[in-house]
Structure 1
């Protein structure tokens, strides 16, 4: 459970990073097309201009008002649908559709305000549209119930039916297991019915080889009358 919680936290950090990059692209778009300076620092704006100019020269990010916005929308969409929150009963698909439609109009269809010199109108409409799209995306992500969100790490498709029958004989070593399959936990067995053919246990240091396998092997071999030579090599 702790490993899955760590994976979920890591996924949340990735989604937050994508959303942050999306916001940076929107801010860069506003600066490039309006050149409104909010702080008194010439070197800061010269550095920002060089960075934006390099992006524009290599991939045409700011050749039109749409390019950076489309990239920002892509990252915003990934960040909204990559996480799932608690569904609110007050939110419906109608609310989501109206919010996204309003955000799309304000965010994408405001280029004409620059043509008539309304820079601050362009900034306000872009920010308002982005907020609407963000809200609509979060709500849509909460409403959607699909297998990808229910099984973020593909645990269900990576699981399979394992041996559940105990195959015991006078020589066998039998290790009890517990595995997840078809949304249920099952009890099973690892049956080494012929240990004379050799057995190897691989794993990283501290992964539990001795605790889960080796100790059980030794205990069962002693109970069944095996003779053995145990050598535990530790390098210094």
Structure 2
């Protein structure tokens, strides 16, 4: 996790350096094209004083090349720390062409400042901006080619990998799933730690993706080992039931009171235990009878689900609750 924090910090520094570089270009244009901005009343006295102080202390605007060189230096440093998305169409030939055009537009357009016409000044501003953008693009591409070899990782697996949890966070309720992840060119062992399973867990995946094998089976085994009672809905009977039963036999000593294993099988009653949900021992309150009647009637008449609250829906439910 520390490595990820360092990368985020580096990205912020690179972004700051690039922002300073852009500000320097804007300051350069403001200083050397002041007449253009003054004619349109786009000037501020405060900015004028700040730039004059810069020029007095550092001589930044004593020549048109100084501010440009400093801006390009910061731009180059920011590009070296940038890791972008790979593109196999990038080549040194393209980089050379773009950087050459950008250099000409950015550095060799100072002669335009000698012309008094506003059109020449406008062209100077446009050429400087276009040259800067081309140099920035070339710098980013150079950084990508220098830091990564495109042909060794054509599917971008390296950039899409990230640091994951490697600590085992264990407590009396936790479920700990072992993992294996790829990061920085190596495979590492890690853990998915569900330290509070009481807040519910949802497992999403397509059929056959391994939800039961990777997650559900581990939940069953680890909860049995920790002495939990379980209610398992085994949709593919008897897959989960077999795992739970065999694991319970091996770890029955984990329970203070030895538990019993029951199976309710509606598809094959011969292989099922008997359970009477209407047993008076389970009915401690009138609300229990109403809930039982409500469940029975709505399952017998699915269309009633959309008609809850109607007289002819509620009356039979209340009558059955009274009978129970």
TM range (shorter): 0.5 to 0.7
CA shift, 1:41, in A, is 6.3
In structure 1, distance between residues paired with 2:42 and 2:113? 25
Larger C-alpha radius of gyration, 1 or 2?
A: 2
SS in structure 2 of the partner of residue 99 of structure 1: helix
Q: CA-to-partner distance for each residue in 1:8-47, whole Å, 9 max, x for gaps?
A: 11100000000000000000000000013388566xx211
RMSD (CA atoms) = 2.4
TM-score between the two structures when normalised by the length of structure 1: 0.59
CA separation of 1:91/1:185 partners in 2, compared to 1, >3 Å: closer, same or farther?
closer
CA shift, 1:86, in A, is 2.5
Give 1:127's aligned residue. Answer: 129
Give 1:10's aligned residue. Answer: 9
Q: How does 1:177-192 map to 2 (within 5 A)?
A: none
- Unaligned segments of structure 1, at least 5 residues: 147-182, 187-236
CA separation of 1:139/1:184 partners in 2, compared to 1, >3 Å: closer, same or farther?
closer
SS in structure 2 of the partner of residue 37 of structure 1: helix
TM-score between the two structures when normalised by the length of structure 2: 0.43
CA separation of 1:55/1:91 partners in 2, compared to 1, >3 Å: closer, same or farther?
same
Q: How does 1:164-179 map to 2 (within 5 A)?
A: none
CA shift, 1:145, in A, is 3.0
SS in structure 2 of the partner of residue 87 of structure 1: coil
Q: CA-to-partner distance for each residue in 1:79-105, whole Å, 9 max, x for gaps?
A: 001122222111110000110111000
In structure 2, distance between residues paired with 1:115 and 1:135? 29
- Unaligned segments of structure 2, at least 5 residues: 149-184, 189-324
In structure 1, distance between residues paired with 2:115 and 2:65? 18
In structure 2, distance between residues paired with 1:31 and 1:90? 37
Give 1:106's aligned residue. Answer: 105
In structure 2, distance between residues paired with 1:16 and 1:184? 29
Q: How does 1:154-233 map to 2 (within 5 A)?
A: none
The one of the two structures with greater contact order (alpha-carbon pairs below 8 A, sep at least 6) is 1
Give 1:180's aligned residue. Answer: none
In structure 2, distance between residues paired with 1:145 and 1:76? 17
Q: Does 1:64 align with 2:66?
A: no
In structure 2, distance between residues paired with 1:12 and 1:55? 28
CA separation of 1:29/1:144 partners in 2, compared to 1, >3 Å: closer, same or farther?
same
CA separation of 1:121/1:78 partners in 2, compared to 1, >3 Å: closer, same or farther?
same
Q: CA-to-partner distance for each residue in 1:30-81, whole Å, 9 max, x for gaps?
A: 0000013388566xx2111111111111111001110000000000000001
